[in-house]
């Protein structure tokens, strides 16, 4: 196998596990909304969600 074939195979394997950040944030937001509706949101929960939203916004700020 050549170096190019190995890299192409590795890129294909990585693409199988590639999850868009929007999907992750949608699931996390759904969990927070569920907890708000059917339980209590602790200060720790709110801090984790605020950090996740901040990191997500920073990662989508455009060209770097």
Domain span holding position 57: 19-64
Cα 2 to chain centroid distance, Å, stands at: 33
Question: Is 55 within a domain?
Answer: yes
Ranges of the chain whose pLDDT falls below 50: none
Residue pair 45/35 in contact by the 8 Å Cβ criterion: yes
Question: Is 7 within a domain?
Answer: no
Residue 46: the pLDDT is: 94
Question: Is 33 within a domain?
Answer: yes
Residue 35: the pLDDT is: 95
Question: Is 53 within a domain?
Answer: yes
Residue 63: the pLDDT is: 67
| CA gap 56, 1 in Å, rounded | 39
Total structural domains in the chain?
A: 1
Question: Is 45 within a domain?
Answer: yes
Question: Is 23 within a domain?
Answer: yes
Question: Is 14 within a domain?
Answer: no
Residue 18: the pLDDT is: 75
- Answer left, alpha or beta for residue 2, where phi above 0 means left and psi between -120 and 50 means alpha: beta
- Single pTM value for the model: 0.65
Provide the 3-class DSSP secondary structure of residue 59.
helix
């Amino acid at each position: 196998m050549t170096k190019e074939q190995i890299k192409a195979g590795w890129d294909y394997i990585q693409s199988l596990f590639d999850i868009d950040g929007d999907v992750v944030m949608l699931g996390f937001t759904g969990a927070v909304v569920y907890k708000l509706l059917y339980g209590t949101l602790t200060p720790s929960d709110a801090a984790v969600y605020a950090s996740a939203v901040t990191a997500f916004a920073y990662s989508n700020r455009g060209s770097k």
